[in-house]
Amino acid sequence: MTSITLPAYAKLNLTLDILRRREDGYHDLQMVMQTVSLHDDVTVTITGGDGIFCRCGEIPGDESNLAVKAARAFFAATGVAPCALDIDIVKRIPAQAGMAGGSSDAAATLRALRRLLKPELPGDELERIAATVGSDVPYCVRGGTALAEGRGERLTTLRDAPRLHAVLCKPDFAISTPMLFSRVKVSELWGRPDTTGMLDAIHHGDAEGVLDRVKNVFETVLPKEYAEVFDIKERFLRLGAEATAMTGSGPTVFGLYRDEAAAEAAYAVLQADYAQTFLTQFV
């Protein structure tokens, strides 16, 4: 086998909490993560050529691409002799959206390289390599419903959250993650999620309990110029969403629905105003 195509799923934060600032400049987080059906397709091909080539829609496929970084990290950490690669990414997940699109492409690249070159490599080894590529990459390797702690790389797999429909709506701007972290004074944070309650609700398969506890503390430090995030949340509530929040460091806002028809109706309305609106479900 010289080529493999894998889906790279987008993620949502059902909760996002910031616990403390660390000596290394990062923050200790506590996040309940969930993959959704929106995905890129990542094809990794071993070629007879030279070097690592990456095509990724309009996003640079050069050394700055996380998928290329992931491939380099795989060879460096495993001792597998580096070989020439083509990484071809069909992009659907918007970039800089809070949905871990780039991290998910990197994770799919790592999973593909394991399948092609070192199938015996244990999952925890692959996640360790993933952590050197980016904070969200280990979670993207694992997927599903999980608690992510530390920088985001310490994972606990949870029982699958109740299957919900998620409408994703990305306004037409990007929010810098380091900028948002720089606005956080941990001792002054308010509007923090009830992570324990969320874990309990997931454990008991309690959809209402999950919906009641969706929350992202980053919303409380958003600069005023990004207030459209709150407008979209209000629209979701008017459109019958049972929970709504920003995902990650934004700007994408999601609305959750138990009822598929209600999700479809909300999608149809928002899609008329926001080109980057997606109808998805938990996977």
Which of 48, 79, 119, 178 touches ligand C5P by CB under 6 A? 178
What track of x and - describes contact with ligand C5P for positions 21 through 40 (by CB under 6 A)? Answer: -----xx-x-----------
Q: State the minimum distance, in angstroms, from the CB of residue 152 to ligand C5P.
A: 5
Q: Find where tokens 């050197």 sit.
A: 132
Q: Is 134 in the site for ligand C5P (CB under 6 A)?
A: yes
- Residues forming the active site: 11, 136
Residue nearest to ligand C5P (CB): 135
| Segment holding 251, helix H or strand E | none
Site for ligand C5P, residues 33 to 72, rule: CB under 6 A: none
Alpha helices in 193-251 (DSSP H): 195-203, 207-212, 228-238
Token pair of 108 as six digits: 């799919």
| Segment holding 76, helix H or strand E | helix 66-78
| Residue 151 neighbours by CB under 8 Å, 6+ apart | 26, 27, 28, 29, 131, 135
Q: State the minimum distance, in angstroms, from the CB of residue 56 to ligand C5P.
A: 17
Return the number of the residue (107 or 232) whose C-beta is nearest ligand C5P. 107
Q: Is 258 in the site for ligand C5P (CB under 6 A)?
A: no
In sign, the C-alpha dihedral spanning 98, 165, 104, 268 is negative
The size of the interface with ligand C5P (CB under 6 A), counted in residues, is 11
CA contacts within 13 A on the Cβ side of 87: 32
Q: State the minimum distance, in angstroms, from the CB of residue 139 to ligand C5P.
A: 11
Q: State the minimum distance, in angstroms, from the CB of residue 26 to ligand C5P.
A: 4
CA gap 241, 165 in Å, rounded:
10
Binding site for ligand C5P (CB under 6 A): 26-27, 29, 134-136, 151-152, 177-178, 181
